Amino acid sequence: MKPFTILTHNAFWFQGVPFPTDMPPEADIEIVRRLCAIYRKINPDVICLQEIQNQETFQVVSEHLGLSGCYCQGNELPQYGGAVFWHPHRGRQIQNSHGSTAKTQRMWQIAEVDGTARRLRICNVHLPSGRQLGPEQAASRRVAELLESIRSCEVQPDVIAGDFNERPNGPASKCLEGRGYVDSAVLSDCADVPTNIGRERGDYIWIKKELSDCFLDYGVPEKRELACADAGKQYLSDHLPLWITMEH
């Protein structure tokens, strides 16, 4: 079986860091170009992105990657959209947070993508932040949104990836552990490796426990690889991309 790689990244609206608000303009094309070059170097089969501000940004990124995919606008906060990308004719979106009756602050979406042996169901999530809701309400909403995404399909997702806005061992992590998922960073002894430029870990790729035997690798670049000295920017994003490779 061929290796199958899934990458997730909060692209920070392709604005670069610093960017002072959460109301982004159109994507900076140079930031798009440089981040897409990093993604292509990793050569993933599937890319899950968070903080995609509109359909136009999705189209621009799709063209730079040469991949097909689907976009999901944020619910309560429309600019906090997301997107999943796959090779042409290899995937389809089967559900997203706009089909849910439950409250969703940002977004979640589930795509079905052809693997090398069978199709994988991959859930891209961006869970609520305490910055807007406060820590207790945000923690409760994170668990509720995760459960809603898992329950939205007859067959629960094989992989759940994205920005959880939560440190390890928080309520969302406990929720997934209780439903048969394992943290890929823990599988590879990388639980202490940060996933943002602030040296914390709040981005995850969880896989079903029964897929653990297929797990091969987990990766996160050093933040210097996202360094940027253009137009007053320091980094391409405030988050680092992370990826897993499975034999599938």
Give the pLDDT band (50/70/90) at residue 180: very high
- pLDDT tens-place string over residues 66-107: 999 999 999 999 999 999 999 999 999 999 999 988 899 999
Residue 153: per-residue pLDDT: 87
pLDDT surpasses 80 at 165: yes
Q: What structural domains does the chain harbor? A: 3-247 (3.60.10.10)
Residue 154: per-residue pLDDT: 86
Tokens matching residue 100: 């849910």
- pLDDT tens-place string over residues 124-138: 999 999 788 888 898
pLDDT surpasses 90 at 40: yes
Give the pLDDT band (50/70/90) at residue 116: low
Other CB atoms within 10 Å distance of the CB of residue 29: 11
pLDDT surpasses 80 at 5: yes
Beta strands across the sheet bearing 46-52: 68-72, 81-86, 46-52, 3-10, 242-247, 215-219
- pLDDT tens-place string over residues 214-237: 999 999 999 999 999 887 899 999
- Is omega for the bond preceding 168 within 30 degrees of 0, making it cis? no
199 and 192 Cβ atoms separated by less than 8 Å: no
Residue 134: per-residue pLDDT: 84
Residue 38: per-residue pLDDT: 98
84 sits in which H/E element: strand 81-86
Give the 3-state secondary structure of residue 219: strand
What pTM does this model have? 0.97
- Alpha-carbon distance of 233 to 248, in angstroms, equals 39
Q: State the angle between helix axes of 29-42 and 55-65 in degrees (0 to 180), rounded to the nearest 10.
A: 50
Give the pLDDT band (50/70/90) at residue 142: very high
Residue 102: per-residue pLDDT: 87
